Amino acid sequence: MPDIIQLLPDSIANQIAAGEVIQRPASVVKELVENAIDAGSSEIKLIIKNAGKTLIQVIDNGKGMSDTDARMSFERHATSKIRKAEDLFSISTKGFRGEALASIAAIAQVEMITKTHEEELGRRLLVAGSKVTKQEPCQAQGGTTFSVKNLFFNVPARRKFLKSDPVELKHIIEEFKRVALAHPTIFMSMYSNEQEIYHLPAGNYRQRIVSIMGKPVNDRLVPIEQDTEIVTISGFVGKPEAAKKTKGDQYIFVNDRFIKSNYLNHAIRMAYDELIVKEAYPLFFLYITVDPSQIDINVHPTKTEIKFEEERLIYNYVRVAVKHALGSYNVSPTLNFGANTNFGNSVDNKRDFGSVNAEYNLKSSAANRPAGQDNTLEKSNLKAWEQIYAGMHQQSEEQPAETQQMLTVASKISTESGEEISKIEEGKPPYQIHNTYILTHIKSGFLLIDQQAAHERILYEENLASLSSHQKLTQKELFPRTIELDNAKAAIMQDILPKINAMGFEIEDFGGRTYLIHGIPAGLTGSADATVLMERLIDQYVSNMELQLGIEDNLARSLAVSAAIKRGKSMEIPEMKLMIDRLFACEVPYKSPTGRRCIVTMDLDTILKQFLG
């Protein structure tokens, strides 16, 4: 038999390697921005067209590349960052594998313009499908500009696999945020389809967090500081009340690199203990510094997972650091954490982190909450406000807004298996079990309703109906409430605002990233504060984008999930009756929009059998 094994041509080998490193436009963004950081840039600009499918451009003012380096940089395993095996144990750069540019050049058309700061003239290279097609001298600024066009032009299967523009853009924004949060001293900006999404002047960590997440986050941050032999932990955790129902703003950085770690997430979660409910996700920005020899970053091609030499110790340090921070916040809730967010202040993170010297008081922390002064103040404001509101709206208070809507209530519904359930019109009142399930009679026996799943279903169908009928019922706020969104969410809001309003909100774009809430859907007045409801809605919408639902479906679902009565909430008989009626009016009464079962039936025969033994 003749010999059949051959070495793969470089272009194919690079394409295969690209499969690991470059999964989507966001991966290109990550690699190029990280290279710009490694090049010592103080300014980095990211320009995106069509969620990176048409163009990804990164402009930096870093050290640039010589003629030979420029050409070499596209070779596989070509790197200036390590030279020998031992260097792997002292990595202080983002990159070191020398794969990114080779991979990108294998699956896209790349233009690179680069000039070192000493040179008069720079150079321009064109590369496509791993081949340098042009290299010529050109005028350039000191630094490097990469333009990556037509990503996956020669890998159609991959291109097809890409998600819609909003989803890909969301991934890009996430990568950009991760790098930006880790490098506050670099001025970074991002444009998408000519619109500036981020403008982040150089500053300290807190300033960077605030300019990315929006001003309201400032009051929700509690600084952490823990210095030990093997690890330094700094950064911020969110006050308990800043925790959210959806995963999101949780960032851990190790030596300025964003990492994913369920283990450390768990440590942080444990520190919150009972300060937040079980299902809530706390907010955090944790910066961990360790000796590079104590970690292995090389476990994954995208370098987002790392191994710690002293994993257990670090777990404990993180837990204790967060617990201390939360404890001291409880002792001195009036401390002004919000100071020093003006840009142009000294870029001195240590001082910013160290602004709390309060004593720790861990034992009483859970019991103390939420006795913070600012909190009480907020509460009494709310009370006063509610009183005014109650006076003004007495008429509509007498009758829940929901009942004012026309309900065509069916007396029969069918279950998932097609079994028909008939209501008893004037039966005994429903009964609530464990503040979670509603028990009610039906002709054949009884029905157990999961109050949360059922309410989600009801609201979902009602929201869809308002979206398609353009008939909405709005409950006006006495005073408009303002809400400020971060850039990413504000960009999404632009797209969905008319539809949100079609569901019964009355929200006005106030310019910048600020929105005025004039009213919320009439049926939801009891469910949550208007701004909280809005925040939840947007968070939920963003996290549902992954499901590719279409705007209306996503919105209807997000609002339903955000506003639904939760398990554990006590309900009065009229409320329960109304809920049963509304559920019976649903088209698909047996499943919540997220797929949970809403009803369980038990017929008299089955009950009887139980007793016969």
Q: Which residues of this chain interact with ligand ADP, rule CB under 6 A?
A: 31, 35-36, 38-39, 60, 62-65, 73, 78-81, 95-102, 144
CA–CA gap between residue 513 and residue 511 (Å, rounded) = 6
Structure tokens at 488: 């990413």
CA–CA gap between residue 122 and residue 67 (Å, rounded) = 8
Choose among Mg ion, ligand ADP, none what residue 355 binds, the Cβ cut-off being 5 to 8 Å by kind: none
Q: How far is the CB of 64 from ligand ADP (least distance, A)?
A: 6
CB-count burial class (<10 Å; 0-12, 13-18, 19+) for 424: exposed
| Dihedral sign for Cα atoms in the order 371, 375, 377, 383 | negative
- Judged by CB under 5 A, which of 35, 466, 544, 562 binds Mg ion? 35
Structure tokens at 597: 């079962």
183: which DSSP letter? -
52 binds Mg ion (CB under 5 A): no
Choose among Mg ion, ligand ADP, none what residue 65 binds, the Cβ cut-off being 5 to 8 Å by kind: ligand ADP
Complex with ligand ADP: residue 141 or 601, whichever CB lies closer: 141
Query: Which span sits near Mg ion by CB under 5 A: 27-35, 441-449, 574-582, 602-610?
Result: 27-35
Complex with ligand ADP: residue 73 or 341, whichever CB lies closer: 73
* CA count, 13 A, side-chain hemisphere, 184: 23
| Interaction pattern, residues 308-347, with Mg ion; x per rule: CB under 5 A | ----------------------------------------
To the nearest 10 degrees (0 to 180), the angle between helices 487-502 and 165-182 is 140
Complex with ligand ADP: residue 108 or 264, whichever CB lies closer: 108
How many residues make contact with Mg ion (CB under 5 A)?
A: 3
Complex with ligand ADP: residue 79 or 451, whichever CB lies closer: 79
220-234 burial code (b ≥16 CB/10 A, e <16)? bbbbbbbeeeebebb
To the nearest 10 degrees (0 to 180), the angle between helices 451-469 and 551-563 is 140
| Dihedral sign for Cα atoms in the order 450, 453, 455, 461 | negative
Choose among Mg ion, ligand ADP, none what residue 591 binds, the Cβ cut-off being 5 to 8 Å by kind: none
Complex with ligand ADP: residue 144 or 440, whichever CB lies closer: 144
Q: How far is the CB of 44 from Mg ion (least distance, A)?
A: 14
Choose among Mg ion, ligand ADP, none what residue 81 binds, the Cβ cut-off being 5 to 8 Å by kind: ligand ADP
Phi, psi of 146 (to 5 degrees): -105, 135
Long-range contacts of 385-388, Cβ-Cβ distance < 8 Å, separation of 24 or more: 385/478, 388/478
Query: Which span sits near Mg ion by CB under 5 A: 95-103, 189-197, 469-477, 510-518?
Result: 95-103
Choose among Mg ion, ligand ADP, none what residue 235 binds, the Cβ cut-off being 5 to 8 Å by kind: none
Complex with Mg ion: residue 108 or 447, whichever CB lies closer: 108
36 binds Mg ion (CB under 5 A): no
CB-based contact 266:316 (threshold 8 Å): no
Complex with ligand ADP: residue 59 or 442, whichever CB lies closer: 59
Q: How far is the CB of 123 from ligand ADP (least distance, A)?
A: 12
Q: How far is the CB of 32 from Mg ion (least distance, A)?
A: 8
Q: How far is the CB of 74 from ligand ADP (least distance, A)?
A: 8
Residue ranges in 430-469 that form contacts with Mg ion under rule CB under 5 A: none
CA–CA gap between residue 298 and residue 82 (Å, rounded) = 13
CB-based contact 246:518 (threshold 8 Å): no
297 binds Mg ion (CB under 5 A): no
100 binds Mg ion (CB under 5 A): yes
59 binds Mg ion (CB under 5 A): no
Q: How far is the CB of 418 from Mg ion (least distance, A)?
A: 58
Q: How far is the CB of 109 from ligand ADP (least distance, A)?
A: 17
Choose among Mg ion, ligand ADP, none what residue 97 binds, the Cβ cut-off being 5 to 8 Å by kind: ligand ADP
Choose among Mg ion, ligand ADP, none what residue 79 binds, the Cβ cut-off being 5 to 8 Å by kind: ligand ADP
524-556 burial code (b ≥16 CB/10 A, e <16)? bbebbebbebbbbbbbbbbbbbeeebebbbbbb
Q: How far is the CB of 453 from Mg ion (least distance, A)?
A: 47
Residue 119 CA to chain centroid, in angstroms?
Answer: 43
Q: How far is the CB of 417 from ligand ADP (least distance, A)?
A: 56
347: which DSSP letter? -
Instruction: Provide the H-helix boundaries in 418-550.
Output: 451-469, 487-502, 530-544
Q: How far is the CB of 10 from Mg ion (least distance, A)?
A: 18
95 binds Mg ion (CB under 5 A): yes
Q: DSSP labels for 377-403?
A: HHHHHHHHHHHHHHHHTHHHHHS-HHH
Complex with Mg ion: residue 103 or 452, whichever CB lies closer: 103
Within 8 A by CB and 6+ apart from 400, the residues are 526, 574, 575, 578
Which residues is 579 bridged to in the sheet? Answer: none
Complex with ligand ADP: residue 65 or 217, whichever CB lies closer: 65
The residues of the shown chain that bind Mg ion, judged by CB under 5 A, are: 35, 95, 100
